[in-house]
Structure 1
Amino acid sequence: MLREFIAATVFGTMMIAGAQAADLGGQVLKIGSDTTYPPMETVDEKTGEIVGFDVDIMDAICAKINCKAEFVTTAWDGIFAALVQGEFDVVMSGVSITDERKKTMDFSDPYLVVSQAILLRVEDEGTSLDAFQNGSKTLAAQTGTTNAQLAEKLVTRDNTRLYDTFAAAILALQNADVDGVIIDGTSAHAYEQEFAGELTAAIKGLESDPLGIVFQKGSPMVDAFNEGLEQIKADGTWDALVAKYWGVEN
């Protein structure tokens, strides 16, 4: 069920009556994104286009507030520095909203709340969380993520293996270089489907993270995007996209 992966929706369903509609005047916005994280964002192997839930959400918001999104692939390591330096107008890449990040960047209202999970090899699916916490097993995650922070909390830094991309962490799991990969439950579900019979999201419902769209500090666009978020929730677009990617409606 979707609630295993998405902890909650966090924005209302009522429009503000009579409010002035936001309009960004058709502006083309560069969206920085680490496009290696299905189903949030990835590169379609056949078309070369960047696709995913984040892309569809961004396009839906832009349709409401009159802008156009141009997603740009960039490595996670350095993505926030690039935003601060003005290389992008926005970052949308399954980014967790944290107090530390809010010191240097602004966030939209959360557009999704996800719970973290641990991917295991199918032959190890009976492994418990306690087995990781007793110090005998290793966890992999992408460096610089809240997943990595949780991994260190669960198994200590010594038993945490960090990788530049989640794809590399998944490969390490497949090669039995690590015992598990800690990852957002939404993406764990995608990898579980991609590697059916090989990998399984056997440990679910760990800490929850709200995801937000990221802006330069003081950006005047935050209110407009929050208005767009509210609108796509109110008109059913958000529910339709959740159903598209996870097979059920909220």
Structure 2
Amino acid sequence: MRKTLLALALAALSASSVLAADLGGKLFKVGSDTTSPPMESVDPATGQIVGFDVDVVNAICAKINCKAEFVTTGWDGIFAALDQGNFDFVASGVSITEERKKAMDFTDPYIVNSQAVLMRVEDAVSSAEDFKAKGLKLSAQANTTDADVAASIVGKENVLAYDTFSASVLALKNKDVDGVVINGANADAYEKEFAGELVAPIRGLSSDPLGLVFRKGDPNVAAFNEGIKAIREDGTLDKLVQKYWGTN
């Protein structure tokens, strides 16, 4: 009998490590700034929103029995739109910061990202110190931790902030700035898209844990945390990292 009870207890413990909450097929609207491949973007061929964050959310929903409908929303107003109830949560490569946690609730991190500096190949420098010493200008997407990192390198007066990542990169290509502070995941995508033209030799400037963002007090955070744990434990998250970056 003792052996039977022990076996049942171990089985229950094992099951608890992989079973997640059940949200009964609930549909969640998800706000996302779809200008940041490979995290999220609009596939020009299909018009569908695709990317790492999309796959992560769908994988979580597969674990906790829910569905996700992504809604394109500009970064500048994305948190206000969340507060107004335009969607249920945000999945848009959002860095978890103490300041943001005062106004919104985050899930546990699902990935840790780091900043890089994207530059023109012909003008590339090898260190952040070179930007300071040479009085170079940086751009970044406004109201992001990327913009904060850029200001820490060259001073706020030498940072041009844009509404989208793509506008920041366009400024670089037009030689309005000398570099773009961008998260490493996006830098990889732009290096591939503009091979031989743009390069990101400066990496690992700052590490940011990324989380899904909910309104303060939303009870669904706990379920999504269970989903994140489940896709981490069963290897799904590693497979998605491998899919987009070839490493984990």
Give the TM-score normalised by structure 1.
0.91
Aligned counterparts of 1:168 and 1:128: Cα–Cα separation in 2: 23
The Cα of 1:73 is off from its aligned counterpart by 0.1
Q: Distance in 1 between matches of 2:130 and 2:20?
A: 53
Q: Does structure 1 residue 109 correspond to structure 2 residue 118? A: no
Alpha-carbon separation, structure 2, partners of 1:150 and 1:126: 17
Q: Which residue of 1 aligns with 2:189?
A: 190
CA 1:209–1:90 in structure 2 vs 1: closer, same or farther (change >3 Å)? same
Counterpart for residue 8 of structure 1: none
Residue 132 (structure 2) aligns with: 133
Alpha-carbon distance between aligned partners in 2 of 1:75 and 1:65, rounded to the nearest angstrom: 28
Return the alpha-carbon distance in structure 2 between the equivalents of residues 217 and 168 of structure 1.
Answer: 31
> Does the alignment pair 1:124 with 2:123?
yes
Match of 2:162 in 1: 163
Q: Report the equivalent of 1:37.
A: 36
Cα deviation for residue 84 of structure 1 reads: 1.1
Could you say which structure has the larger radius of gyration?
A: 2
Unaligned runs of 5+ in 1: 1-14
- In structure 2, distance between residues paired with 1:235 and 1:18: 12
- State the one-letter code of the partner of 1:140: S
Partner SS for 1:72: strand
Structure 1 range deviating more: 225-234 or 120-129: 120-129
Q: Does 1:204 align with 2:197?
A: no
Q: Report if aligned partners of 1:96, 1:146 keep a CA contact under 8 Å in 2.
A: yes
Percent identity over the alignment? Answer: 63
Worse-superposed segment, 15-24 or 236-245 = 15-24
Displacement after TM superposition at 1:124 (Å): 1.8
Residue 144 (structure 1) aligns with? 143
Output the CA distance in 2 between the equivalents of 1:140 and 1:16: 50
Q: Give 1:128 deviation, angstroms.
A: 2.7
CA separation in 2, counterparts of 1:196 and 1:38?
15
2:75: which partner in 1? 76
Counterpart code for 1:238: L
Deviation digits for residues 71-91 of structure 1 (CA, Å, limit 9, x no counterpart): 000000110011111111010
Partner of 2:177: 178
1:155 positional shift: 0.6
Q: CA deviation at 1:150?
A: 0.9
TM-aligned CA distance change 1:163 to 1:134, over 3 Å = same
CA distance in 2, matches of 1:152, 1:194: 26
- The amino acid across from 2:198 in the alignment is L
1:16, CA displacement in angstroms?
A: 6.1
Aligned letter for 1:26?
A: G
**Which amino acid letter does the alignment assign opposite residue 65 of structure 1?**
I
Deviation at 1:126, TM superposition (A): 3.4
Q: Is the partner of 1:77 in helix, strand or coil?
A: helix
- Describe the SS at the equivalent of 1:196: coil
Asked if 2 retains the 8 angstrom alpha-carbon contact of 1:135 and 1:159, the reply is no
What's the RMSD between the two structures over aligned residues? 1.3
- 2:119 and 2:198 in contact (8 A); partners too: yes
Compute the displacement of 1:134 (Å). Answer: 2.7
Q: Distance in 2 between matches of 1:168 and 1:144?
A: 14
SS in 2 for 1:167: helix
SS at structure 2 position matched to 1:78: helix
Counterpart residue type for residue 151 of structure 2: E
- The AA in structure 2 aligned to 1:54 is D
Moved over 3 A (4+): 15-21
Residues 193-237 of structure 1 show CA distances to partners (whole Å, capped at 9, x for unaligned) of 010000001111101100000001000111100100111111111
- Give the letter for the 1:66 counterpart: N
| TM-score using structure 2 length | 0.92
Q: Number of residue pairs matched?
A: 235
Name the residue aligned to 2:224: 225
Query: Who is 1:87 aligned against?
Result: 86
Do the aligned partners of residues 166 and 160 (structure 1) sit closer, same or farther apart at CA in structure 2, a change above 3 Å counting?
same
Give 1:17 deviation, angstroms. 3.9
